[in-house]
Chains A and B, each alone.
Chain A
Amino acid sequence: MNLRTFLKTALAGSLALATALPAYADSTGITPTSIKIGFIGSLTGPAAIWGSGNLAGAVLAFEQQNEAGGINGRKFEWVSIDDESSAPKGIAGFNKLVQTEQVFAVIGPSASAVGVPMKSVLASSGVPVIIPSFSSPDMTEPLIKNVFRTGTLNDRMQGRAIADYLVQILKLDRVAIMRQSDQYGATGAGAITDRLKELGKAPVAVETFNASDTDLTSQVLHLRGADPQAIVIYGYPAPSAIATRQIRELGIKSEIIGSSATSNQNYPEMVGKVGIGVKFVAVGDLPESDDKPMADFRAAFQKRYPDLARQGRPATSDVTGYGAAKNVIEALRRAGKDVTRENFMAALETFDGYSSGVTMPTYLSPTRHEGNSQMRIAIITPELTREILPGAIDAK
């Protein structure tokens, strides 16, 4: 055989082999009887406010599914790792889940400060990642092939929707923003400002505060000088409660609307009577709602976690964790018996309004990995309870 004949034969053989073999299918974490899911989230540290709820909700959903016989004959197993509200520990924890624990997919992380620095690690792993609660748009814009978000609403979309609500629905012109000094507050406030400009307006004041601030007098005095009709507070629950109280105590009577982080179940009581009429963004039904799916979830959650029930939970983070796990379960169901990471992600991309029952419907596609596109507005009532106002606002 001369060299030319050899090369021809080798090429033909290679082509034949390439066409005969199926594409490599990754079914890591799948056995005939089990599916291993990883959870990475903040169970301790300041971001535990979201991570502990995400884990509790997800575990409940998997336990319920296992009791119902599992999915396609397989039962769920799960491994959770605490990132301690630290990005380096989040990266180490994620790598452990993927390399040592060999999980099929990962739910988490739970906070922007941890998740955004993990972006390249998540993307390069190729492992399906479902984000339940943190809202940085960096994770879905531009789209990352293996990263999906359900339940919550990203800060860019949320900021724009808040601006639309204030200007187009409430017909207000003079909007001020009080934002947290970190990326969470900056992204949300930036989106509000951008959308206001598109609507031919500009914020009358933008004030910043640190998450650990205990007195916001100087910021509130600046806002008072700007005479706003509405103030958007884009920050975590504790400093937002201080801001709300001080805005009212210093005599400002304008509309107040808090970002989704203020949808904490204790927010009305933290603020007290001055909080009556204050609005906030809700990214789904409230955990205390009497609607059947939420009432069923709440009953199951409180039975499973009596210690957390004593703390007034379930909270929004519990709901979004449960919702994320329900999305995972549904995608596995759609992927069928011969599930691989590839057909699992393809199944997720078929979601066209899938409802977990407790979170907003999920819309995903090959060109869109941001599951939710709507927000609702809730208000604090005179009894210091919370009430969802009618209608949902589209977020673009």
Chain B
Amino acid sequence: MDILQIVANGVPAGMMYGLVALGIVLIHNGTNVVHFGYGEQITLSAYIVVVLQVIFHVPFWLACLVSIVLSALFGLAIYLGILGPLRRTPLIVQIIATLAIGLGIREGLRAFMGPDPWPFPAIVANKVYDVHGVFITTANIVVVTVSIAIAALLFLFFRLSRYGHAILAACESPRGASIVGISVKQVSAAIWVLASVLAAVAALLMAPVLTLSPDMGLIAIKGFCAAILGGFVSLPGAIVGGVLLGLIETAAGYYISTATKDMVAYGALIAMVIFMPQGLLGKRQIKKV
């Protein structure tokens, strides 16, 4: 029965990695930026809810909506104020900029909200269901359902909508897209807004489960692993990579040793990079030189 419990808990744990990976992949696909501060953006969105509730006594659901809006504006500000102007700089400069954004958010939160963890309300009251000896929580059900829904919506958006096609085109060939009238700047801004909305939604799902603290964003390390496992360019791949990582971790912890579960997970990641660099759902890219 323990194997079923490993699946029941490993899948939602992995879905959370997948949610983070979705945002990272989205930004990377749309703007070619690898956003190392994305985990902290998620944390910031959760803190916005806490601030609105504790200081301004805003009802929880309204606080969540405001957080989503503010997160979107923050993403736009990052693009317009930092990464937009840096778009022609070397990749390493952009990476350092995203690292600085993340560190700034993390230590800023520590300074202004304190280093202590904060309680964060669950969006649905948490109950535990005993399904023939396998315990399933509503929190985990919500994480899985919402993650799949978001991934599906994003997938359909990029596959079926004209705007989605425009974004993909702008990413694939910015010059070509400009020639046919697509504003690359607008597309990039839209990507940052979309990924930041996603960060806010992830925050609402993750904060009650992970415990909100300034260091909650460190989960992005696992998000990056999930993204790489999934191929780094594929949105469904991000979720699949996350789930795989969650299952590997939980199973390795149970069947091998809890002390080695991270080692096994990262070992699997290295093996993937060496033997299957395109990831699970990515495509092998061939460049003519």
> Which residues of chain A come closer than 8 Å to B114, judged between CB atoms?
52, 308, 311, 313
Q: Given that A44-B110, A44-B111, A237-B116 are known contacts, is A214 also in contact with B254, CB under 8 Å in the complex?
A: no
Q: A46–B246 contact, CB under 8 A?
A: no
Asked whether A266 lies within 8 Å of B246 as measured between CB atoms, the reply is: no
B60 interface residue (CB < 8 Å to A):
no
Nearest CB on B from A278, distance (A): 15
Which residues in A have their C-beta under 8 angstroms from that of B5? 217, 221, 250
Contacts of A49 in B (CB 8 A): 115-116
A239 contact set on B, CB distance < 8 A: 211
Tell me the bound Cα distance from A238 to B54 in angstroms: 20
CB distance from B247 to the nearest CB of A (A): 10
Cβ of A217 and Cβ of B13 under 8 Å apart? yes
Instruction: Kindly name the residue among B118, B122, B222, B261 whose own CB sees the greatest number of chain A CB atoms within 10 A.
Output: B261
**A249 lies within 8 A of B137 (CB):** yes
Q: Check B13 against A264 for contact (C-beta < 8 Å).
A: no
Residue of B nearest to A181 (CB): B259
**Binary flags per residue of B88-117, CB closer than 8 Å to A gives 1, else 0:** 000000000000000000010011111111
Chain A residues closer than 8 Å to B117, beta-carbon distance: 237-238, 241, 264, 266, 270
- A293 at the B interface (CB under 8 A): no
Contact between chains at B9 and A217 (CB < 8 Å):
yes
Residues of B within 8 A of A208 (CB): 258-259
Residue A117 at the chain B interface, CB threshold 8 Å:
no
How far is it, in angstroms, between the C-alpha of A218 and the C-alpha of B249 when the chains are bound?
Answer: 9
Give residues 214-250 of A contacting B (CB, 8 Å): 214-215, 217-219, 221-222, 225, 237-239, 241-242, 246, 248-250
Cα–Cα, bound, A275→B13 (Å): 21
Interface size on B, residues (CB 8 A): 45
- CB atoms of B126 and A272 under 8 A apart: yes
Given contacts A208-B258, A221-B5, contact A214 B210 (CB under 8 A): yes
Measured between beta carbons, the chain A residues less than 8 angstroms from B112 are 307
Is B37's CB within 8 Å of the partner chain A? no
Residues of A within 8 A of B174 (CB): none
Is A266 a contact of B253 with CB atoms below 8 Å? Answer: no
- Given A46-B215, A238-B215, A251-B135, the answer on whether A219 and B258 have CB atoms closer than 8 Å is yes
Residues of B within 8 A of A251 (CB): 128, 130, 135
**CA of A237 to CA of B210, assembled, Å:** 12
* Inter-chain contacts of A238 with B (CB < 8 A): 117, 210-211, 213, 215
A269 at the interface (CB under 8 A from B): yes
Interface hits, A280-336 → B, CB 8 Å:
307-308, 310-313, 315
A-contact 0/1 string along B58-96, CB 8 Å cutoff: 000000000000000000000000000000000000000
Evaluate contact between A212 and B246: CB separation under 8 angstroms. Answer: no
| Secondary structure call for the B interface | helix
Residue of chain B at shortest CB distance from A239: B211
Q: How far is the CB of A179 from chain B (nearest CB, A)?
A: 11
Cα A265 to Cα B116 with chains together (Å): 9
The answer to whether the Cβ of A344 comes within 8 Å of any Cβ in the partner chain is no
Cβ of A48 within 8 Å of any chain B Cβ, yes or no, is: yes
Distance in Å from the Cβ of A80 to the closest Cβ of chain B? Answer: 14
Q: A237 contacts which chain B residues (CB < 8 A)?
A: 116-117, 211
- Tell yes or no: A183 within 8 A of B by CB: no
Q: A181-B259, A221-B254 are in contact. Are A270 and B6 (CB under 8 A)?
A: no
Nearest CB in chain A: distance from B91 CB, A: 27
Find the B residue at minimum CB distance from A250. Answer: B135
Nearest B-chain residue to A273, judged by Cβ: B126
How near does chain A come to B261, taking the closest CB pair, in angstroms?
A: 6
Would you give the shortest CB distance from B180 to chain A, in whole angstroms? Answer: 44
Judge if A207 is at the interface, Cβ distance under 8 Å: yes
Contacts A217-B253, A264-B117 given; indicate if A209 touches B258 (C-beta within 8 A): yes
Q: Does A210 contact B (CB under 8 A)?
A: yes
In the complex, which residues of chain B have a beta carbon less than 8 angstroms from the beta carbon of A264? 116-117
A-B contact pairs, 17 of them (CB 8 A): A45-B110, A48-B115, A181-B259, A214-B16, A217-B250, A218-B253, A218-B254, A219-B253, A221-B5, A241-B117, A242-B209, A246-B9, A266-B116, A270-B211, A307-B112, A310-B55, A313-B114
**Which 9 pairs, one residue from A and one from B, show the smallest C-beta to C-beta distance?**
A218-B253, A269-B119, A215-B13, A48-B115, A217-B9, A218-B254, A311-B114, A49-B115, A238-B211
Hey, which bits of chain B sit against chain A, CB under 8 A?
2, 5-6, 9-10, 13, 16, 54-55, 107, 110-119, 122, 126, 128, 130, 135, 137, 209-211, 213, 215, 218-219, 222, 246, 249-254, 258-259, 261-262
Not counting A217-B254, A218-B253, a sample of 10 additional A-B residue pairs whose C-beta atoms are within 8 angstroms of each other reads: A45-B110, A207-B258, A212-B215, A214-B209, A215-B10, A217-B5, A241-B211, A266-B119, A270-B117, A310-B54
